[in-house]
Amino acid sequence: MSDTLLAILHMCVFPGGAFALLVAMFFKGLDRRVEARLQRRVGPPLTQPWIDIAKLLTKETLIPKTACRPAFLLAPVFGFTGMAVCAAFIPVPGVFDGLFNMGDLLVIFYLLPIPAMAIMLGGSASSSPFGAVGFSREMLMMLAYETPLLMILLAVAMLTGKAMNGGSWGAEFSLLNIVALQQQVGSFGYNPVMIPAFLAYLIFLPGTMGVPPFDIPEAETEIIEGPLLEYGGPLLAMFQITSALKTFVVLGLGVALFFPGTISDIWIVNLVWFLLKCLALMLLSLTLVKSAMGRFRIDQAFRFYVMVPTALALCSLILVWVM
């Protein structure tokens, strides 16, 4: 019973729920600010994501007459819940080990597409033709970026499994063991075998977060925000919170997979170190790319994802296999 309570606490307070939300919103504000500075603008204040949420809460909610009401209303809740739970699985090295210690990598792999599914559900329930176009684009993007992600996770799992089995074949899907092993033998990010996988993960990030140049499903200039077109007010706020939480989850996962080193025994220092690493990952793979690039067409993005990150991840996978 107390285990269940503790799990719920982890999902609601730390590292899921409240903590993840605070960090993610701060990151989002910083992201907009840094992007503006990179483009030589002043940019919005750091609290802008909170202000946006506050604004959306005061707006009225309009639901289209032809929409499928239950699905339309439930889609944002669905995405939010998925991400709040998923955030609890992210280990903060030296502070928190992750919610479950068996096969949580696979659970994360299944939970990660939930926001995209929620967007697809909402878009198709909104009965708008733009929602339908956005649905098909989101689906295509998902097919394109989930394949390299699976290969990256497999490469990490196999490398860990092999090291734990003393060189013979094995796979380890527990993030706790993956993090523990890297703290002993050094981060995978410095391992030449894993560098292609890390690059593939860097390319995976903007695709899964739907930021330029891969914001194709929600392209506001072509298909006027696609699936989110009919959403407004509190429902849209929920989608924004979900997207912020997802940023935290994918960045935290990246740190856990490739750079989970700790620098001291004090938990607060480790926490700050973890956040700094997340921030560096975000600036490198999201903000920098976003501020410098336009938008790809869906076929270009699909071809790019099928070729480049998949090839990189496959490279790592084969290297791990043969070595």
Partner 1 sequence: MSLDYMLKKLSVCSPWLFRINAGSCNGCDVELATTACIPRYDVERFGCRYCGSPRHADIVLITGPVTTRVRDRVLRVWEEIPEPKVTVAVGICPISGGVFREGYSIEGPLDKWIPVDVNVPGCPPRPQAILEGVVLAKSIWMKKLGLEG
| b (16+ CB within 10 A) / e for 216-228 | bbbbeebbebbbb
Q: Which of 13, 18, 61, 300 binds partner 1 (CB under 8 A)?
A: 61
Q: Which of 6, 13, 18, 59 binds partner 1 (CB under 8 A)?
A: 59
Q: Which of 40, 66, 70, 184 binds partner 1 (CB under 8 A)?
A: 40
- For position 69 contacting partner 1 by CB under 8 A, the verdict is no
Q: How far is the CB of 298 from partner 1 (least distance, A)?
A: 17
- For position 234 contacting partner 1 by CB under 8 A, the verdict is no
Q: Per-residue DSSP letters for 258-310?
A: H------S-HHHHHHHHHHHHHHHHIIIIIHHHHH-----HHHHHHHHHHHHH
- For position 180 contacting partner 1 by CB under 8 A, the verdict is no
Closer of 170 and 234 to partner 1 (Cβ): 234
- For position 57 contacting partner 1 by CB under 8 A, the verdict is yes
Contact 16, 88 (CB under 8 A): yes
Other beta carbons within 10 angstroms of residue 66's beta carbon come to: 9
Q: Which of 10, 19, 20, 32 binds partner 1 (CB under 8 A)?
A: 32
Q: How far is the CB of 297 from partner 1 (least distance, A)?
A: 17
- For position 52 contacting partner 1 by CB under 8 A, the verdict is yes
- For position 225 contacting partner 1 by CB under 8 A, the verdict is yes
Q: Which of 7, 8, 30, 44 binds partner 1 (CB under 8 A)?
A: 44
Q: How many residues does the chain have?
A: 323
How many residues sit in the footprint of partner 1 (CB under 8 A)? Answer: 34
Per-residue contact string for residues 181-220; x = within reach of partner 1 by CB under 8 A: --------------------------------------xx
- For position 50 contacting partner 1 by CB under 8 A, the verdict is yes
- For position 224 contacting partner 1 by CB under 8 A, the verdict is yes
Residues 282-321 that bind partner 1 (CB under 8 A): none
Q: In terms of Cα–Cα distance, which of 74, 114, 56, 72 is closest to 227?
A: 72
Cis peptide before 15 (omega within 30 of 0): yes
Residue 251 identity: L
Contact 98, 104 (CB under 8 A): yes
Give dist(CA 258, CA 91) in Å, integer. 12
- For position 132 contacting partner 1 by CB under 8 A, the verdict is no
Q: Per-residue DSSP letters for 86-124?
A: HHTT--BTTTB--S-SSSHHHHHHHHTTHHHHHHHHHHH
Residue ranges that bind partner 1, judged by CB under 8 A: 32, 36, 39-45, 48, 50-52, 54-55, 57-62, 219-221, 223-225, 228-233, 236
